[in-house]
Amino acid sequence: METIKVAIVGATGATGSSIVNGLLASDSVRYEITALIRPASMQKPAVAELAKRGVKVVSAELTAPQEELVNLLTGIDVVISAIYIAELKSEMLLADAAKAAGVKRFVPCFFATVIPPKGVTALRDMKEDVLNHIKKMHLGYTVIDVGWWYQLSIPRLPSGRIDYALTMTNSPIAGEGKVPSGLTDLRDVGKFVAKIIADPRTLNRMVFAYTKLWTQTEVRDLMDRLSGEKCTREYMSPKEIQDAIAECLTDPSKYIAVATLQYLNSWGVRGDNTPEIAKYLGYLLASELYPELASQLRSLDEYFQEVLDGKGVPPYGKRLG
Amino acid sequence: METIKVAIVGATGATGSSIVNGLLASDSVRYEITALIRPASMQKPAVAELAKRGVKVVSAELTAPQEELVNLLTGIDVVISAIYIAELKSEMLLADAAKAAGVKRFVPCFFATVIPPKGVTALRDMKEDVLNHIKKMHLGYTVIDVGWWYQLSIPRLPSGRIDYALTMTNSPIAGEGKVPSGLTDLRDVGKFVAKIIADPRTLNRMVFAYTKLWTQTEVRDLMDRLSGEKCTREYMSPKEIQDAIAECLTDPSKYIAVATLQYLNSWGVRGDNTPEIAKYLGYLLASELYPELASQLRSLDEYFQEVLDGKGVPPYGKRLG
């Protein structure tokens, strides 16, 4: 079996954990994983857990002198960044070191919905800056976007019985809720990644890896059917979304609200998060590259049933309900 | 024969003329061309010449109210911008109107060397802004880059006999002059465009259309051989090029020097203007799409011989020699 050496930043985060699970479970490629962990986090239980599972854990600060990072990355085939959003700027330092170390493929932290490169969401704008930096260096790369998570798509039920699984206030319905958007179970992200990073066809390309298209109305209808309740339906017109973004932008502390609303505008109003727009923007589709994966991906029905059964695990490890 | 309706901005310029010639000469597609001409230029001889050759000439200001442009573009299949560099910002208005008019394919003004999207040359950065604007609108597009023109690659001969054909001071040799770069006869640009804009494979893609790779040393050796003289060889190290760019950037009036030096750094030092980097950046190669074109493209030998025979026509219609 082929062996690929992977270094990952953010291995204990929501996306990073899914990726580590996916790589360790791979049956077509053997992944040797090195997790770059910040010195301050080395003692965390999640890090000890990684080591127990065969992940090599090394202490690394992205802002350290470049030669330290280059030493750590020498001999590594693929570097994956599942970095915390606020650290996106240090990702460029990681890319610089990867280039200097001769890394063959750099996977920058995208792992979100399909969005045009500039001018739609501030977050994508920043990610695009990193990608442009990578392209300037002629560094091999693969961008992976995974759509919107099931875990962020749970509507609220009047009984409150699934509030435990809500991570952020659920998005209101944009417009009439008829815009399709690609959804994926967070836990399946790693399955896609394990395929994509071993595939020569995806080198220097963007890949859109999602499970199924859903409109916000369909998502609510599904929850109604499975729960026997009628879930909350709050509507927000495109104009109201725009106005709310403009208002939140005046207050720097509201950056999470801005990000959430800009995402909603992109996938819920503009309809960016679809295979058609992905192809227009130059993405390959994981569904076309790996049709054999389809049977291994969790359906939204399965996930909602888990949540209703009290077994839904909210991402970020936080329970807001 | 298929008919495609094309509107073009900049039809009388260096690139625009080549494109119009290429479209009119096409034997596989019939092109109906509308040239959008600024009101102030409507009386120019070159515009009358276009009309005589069957091009529909209409007066249009890109900064006019959008509905005027939309009216002009309604029913047009392909819009080509071969706009003057300084007008790049109005190109976004043209793209807006093209989107509103239902134009299927917008060809923004690239038509230069292959360069990474951001951070290498200021000109490409601006072009990328237009492309990102297009992508934000989900407007069909094709980016066409053509390499560096033969017409800008003429070395100086001590005898001065080909000075008449020099348009700008010829670039010094970057480093040791060993970096290959794709060159094309300006007059052949239109031949590529006529193929590319009728091709469904190039929709929403970038295409690199060049004739042959040449190093600066090879170009000078060729001129030596054909002329029997020894052409001037001025060298500039990568560091000197960087320093010159930095110095010129402090003086806004030196924007042409900055552009020329940044181009030289990209194609002569970094080696961006090659099929390898083009593919890395996502370009298709015209040589692979249209191998049948090869026999119709002018060689650099032919062009240099024309210049030595006193028949070289400098681009931009100006003779500086």
For chain B, domain boundaries: 2-147+185-210+275-293
Sheet holding A205-208, edge to edge: A142-145, A205-208, A283-285
Minimal Cα distance from A115: which residue of B? Answer: B136
CB contact under 8 A, A136 and B129: no
Confidence at A49, pLDDT banded by 50, 70, 90: very high
- Classify domain A2-147+185-210+272-296 at the CATH class level: alpha beta
| Mean pLDDT confidence for B71-80 | 98
| Mean pLDDT confidence for A227-242 | 96
Mean pLDDT of chain A: 94
Q: What confidence tens digit (pLDDT) does each residue in B126-158 have? A: 999 999 999 999 999 999 999 999 999 999 999
Whose CA is closest to B220, among B208, B230, B212?
B230
Q: ipTM of this predicted complex?
A: 0.93
Q: What confidence tens digit (pLDDT) does each residue in B164-214 have? A: 998 766 789 999 999 999 999 999 999 999 999 999 999 999 999 999 999
Q: Which of A280, A281, A283 to mutate to test the interface with B (most CBs of B within 10 A)?
A: A280
- Residues pairing with B32 in the sheet: B5
CB contact under 8 A, B118 and A138: no
> Considering only A90-99, A160-169, B70-79, B121-130, which range has the smallest mean pLDDT?
A160-169
Whose CA is closest to B24, among B38, B8, B40, B43?
B8
Chain B: give the shortest CA distance to residue A243, in Å. 19
Confidence at B321, pLDDT banded by 50, 70, 90: very low
In the prediction, which pLDDT does A128 show?
A: 97
Query: Is 90 exceeded by the pLDDT of residue A101?
Result: yes
CB contact under 8 A, B204 and A280: yes
Residue A239 burial by Cβ neighbours in a 10 Å radius (0-12, 13-18, 19+)? exposed
Query: Looking at the domain that runs over B2-147+185-210+275-293, which CATH code has it been given?
Result: 3.40.50.720
Contacts of B277 in chain A (CB under 8 A): 138
CB contact under 8 A, B117 and A138: no
Confidence at B90, pLDDT banded by 50, 70, 90: very high
Query: Is 80 exceeded by the pLDDT of residue B85?
Result: no
Minimal Cα distance from A206: which residue of B? Answer: B282
Q: What confidence tens digit (pLDDT) does each residue in B8-50 have? A: 999 999 999 999 999 999 999 999 999 999 999 999 999 999 9
Q: What confidence tens digit (pLDDT) does each residue in B272-290 have? A: 999 999 999 999 999 999 9
Measured between alpha carbons, how far is A76 from A60 in angstroms, rounded to an integer?
Answer: 15
CB contact under 8 A, A118 and B138: no
- Cα angle value A141/A274/A26 (rounded, 5°): 50
**Nearest by CB to A135, which of B117, B136, B279?**
B117
* Residues of A taking part in catalysis: 127
Contacts of B116 in chain A (CB under 8 A): 132, 135-136, 138
